Every structure is written in C-alpha cells, then in structure tokens.
C-alpha cells in the first residue's frame, strides 16, 4: 500500500500548555497521553492508541470491564458522567488500586 504512513499509536502533536509525562490532554478531538515533559507550543509524542493506567476520581468506583471511560483533563482523572469517552476499561491496575486500566480508542465524532 503506497499511502501507509505508520501505525500511529504515538503521534507528534503540539502542546497546548506545559505538559508532564503521563498527563492526559485533549487537542481538538484527539485525546493523548503525553510521553515526555513538553513546554507550551513545542512538539511532543502523544500516545493515542493502546493501553494506559489512568487515575480514577475520588469516589469513582472501579468500573466493570468494558465500561466507557470519560476523562477530566482538569483533574487528570477518570470520571463518571457526561464527557468525551476516551476508551474502555479492562480491569483494575494491579500496582495501584486508585487507577483503572483503559484501552484508548481514537474518536472521530
């Protein structure tokens, strides 16, 4: 296939603010997890597809497998309620009970 570029699990993006490695960020309709510390306006590698461990909001119980995950960028946590679905949970993080394992999904809404 002559028009294939890359698998695109990690893509170059422009930081809309100062970011730290592991921080989730929305850039337009793209949700990415920053792979390195990045200054506002610089290019960073954003993880957009695959599995990540995301912190759950206080009081947000471990969701069942397959539950839609909404991410709140301000608090850097998974929340219940309205918002943009960034993936689906497939279990609890065995290393940190306050986190959920999430399969990220690209969105094209």
What pLDDT does residue 81 have? 78
pLDDT single digits (tens) 42-99: 999 999 999 999 999 998 989 999 999 999 999 999 997 788 899 999 999 999 999 9
Cα distances (angstroms) measured from residue 89 to each of 28, 42, 52: 23, 31, 10
- Judge if 42 and 55 occupy the same domain: no
Q: Tell me the pTM.
A: 0.89
Q: Is residue 62 part of a domain?
A: yes
Summary count for the chain: helices (H), strands (E) = 0, 9
- Judge if 53 and 40 occupy the same domain: no
- Judge if 106 and 55 occupy the same domain: yes
Q: Is residue 18 part of a domain?
A: yes
- Judge if 65 and 107 occupy the same domain: yes
Q: How many CB atoms lie within 10 A of CB 84?
A: 15
Q: What total number of domains does the chain contain?
A: 2
Domain that includes residue 96, residue range: 49-109
Q: Is residue 2 part of a domain?
A: no
Q: Which residue has the higher pLDDT, 6 or 20?
A: 20
What pLDDT does residue 7 have? 84
- Token pair belonging to 97: 């009970």
108 pLDDT band, cuts 50/70/90, is: low
């Amino acid at each position: 296939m002559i028009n294939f570029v890359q698998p695109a699990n990690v893509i170059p993006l422009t930081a809309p603010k100062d970011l730290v490695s592991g921080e989730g960020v929305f850039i337009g309709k793209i949700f990415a997890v920053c792979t390195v510390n990045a200054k506002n306006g610089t290019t960073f590698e954003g993880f957009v597809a695959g599995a990540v461990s995301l912190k759950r909001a206080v009081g947000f119980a471990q969701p069942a497998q397959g539950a839609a995950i909404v991410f709140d960028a301000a608090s850097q946590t998974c929340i219940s309620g309205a918002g943009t679905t960034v993936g689906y949970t497939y279990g609890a993080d065995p290393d940190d009970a306050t986190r959920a394992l999430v399969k990220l999904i690209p969105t094209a809404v």
